[in-house]
Structure 1
């Protein structure tokens, strides 16, 4: 498998984690993986059994987007022509490396499996960036989706967006988490007084609505005592700290900055995850991590939430974006916790199962060259 992607760990993000976990599990199941990605410095090494080629990035935009050098596709085709590549894996329609992946797949005459992670056009950005990103979507993004041999979507909403944008019928390929030897969540729910927020501190992630809801709960007195831990970092961190002070929540709300995956799991264990994002999310693995940790979940209507609720997960979906409605749902989770998610169902959200599905899709993909 040749993964051609814009970014890869140690860069932190949901897409990077998806790619890394999928690649790790594909190797565990007996296959070889090479990752081609962009970084500040060019280097090559073996990381957890994965051959990682980092090429110098160019023209970075807001630490989100960057571009490969001209001629990258031709160089990669020459480099891997005799390497026994059987498929190319690309991720997210608007990343330049997805466009490179299409051309490499064509040059090597192997299928390109594209996984889409976005459920709508980019939201929560400036008008200029919104217009520019939409222009990219309806040109190069559309071409990526139409040119891939198979397109996968990480949620029902993503699948619907792919069809709306490009007229392509994508296949469901849900996100997953690594369970390893993690203990099963407790069968009985223990009432908790801890709320947890996990995510980048940027516009649209909902930290402001969370704090407003916490202020309402604190003022009413019905929820006291409670705490809220804010996990994550980003450009809005100063604004978060100011808002905590302005709302009089300094004894309740704590910011922790970036925390690693293990620390996130520790914070989530037995807590109430509050997920008030309004961004065009794909399928947040935080929801799955919360279930594995025996959490209650209070969330806006994000991809995956309805699916988990239908399976009996302790999910409360807030249909509006009003702080009062969010506060009401948080109070209900405190006072009337729902039954825990059945441990027997967690396995279906694990990477061994998801990687086996992915490899099956690769195996059955046509070996025709993807349309360029």
Structure 2
């Protein structure tokens, strides 16, 4: 188990990169550190690896305090964004290099290197030099080198950022398969939320050196803790519609421009204490149904763009000054929908699913959790 307690990292001139990071990672778990550039995810990984000294806080591997231990004493394997292979060495010697540093005999380290190469399906590349390999092949060599010494913890620093989209999918499948097979506790740094959701058991989303939410991919997607997480997770991004919570007799309503939508179901009890507050409705594109005629509890949308994505249509438009995207499963409706583009006289009408996320406009927190 990895336990990170109150981790803080300051650089020169008082720049705070990490501010009280708490994180617990169980044995064999695969965790992603996710966030935009400059959020602190790579700094967190480097503190875990021992490549950076911490300002304060503690890093624990099981019951051992490794906060001040050198990287070589932490039993970790690390895969870098740049692959960091030795260009003058053959692939087999690149893979075996960590074992050479440990004093393992050439015969034994080459044997282990071949075994690991078989696992990652690059055994036919062992006599080549790194310059003779593709980016995906080099990344597999880097993975082999990190794993050949049988580390207790595998750390991956944006290992797929230099690969094209199709190759990324292939390599992430390889990484996940090997991690499950070897049962090695793993942490990956990425800015790609799709990559994190596909590969990780749990995701820690960081912003400004703080963890915004740490949970399973499903929970982060369905129940984001705040506006930042909601906006970061999902493609297309979550829609945000400005509204106000108001009463109409015994009913609680979302007032949106000149329209009103009744609050019902499990939202009613959670939101009633917040009556009178400005809120943002957080609605995924697939949580919206499209109709041709106005009706109770619907919102008008002026369609501005229709994109045919093959499996679905993606409608983009304006809802009382808010930009909204809606997924429509019926791709046969493409021509009819495109005829509405830019025509303010012809609108579609949106109805929400029973459950949506609702965020306080001031505090940014999710009011329905």
Judging by fraction of residues, say which structure has more strand: 2
The structure in which a higher percent of residues are helix is 1
**TM-score of the superposed pair, with normalisation by structure 1:** 0.29
Higher RCO (CA < 8 A, seq sep 6+): 1
| TM-score, normalisation: structure 2 | 0.29
State the structure with more CA Rg. Answer: 2
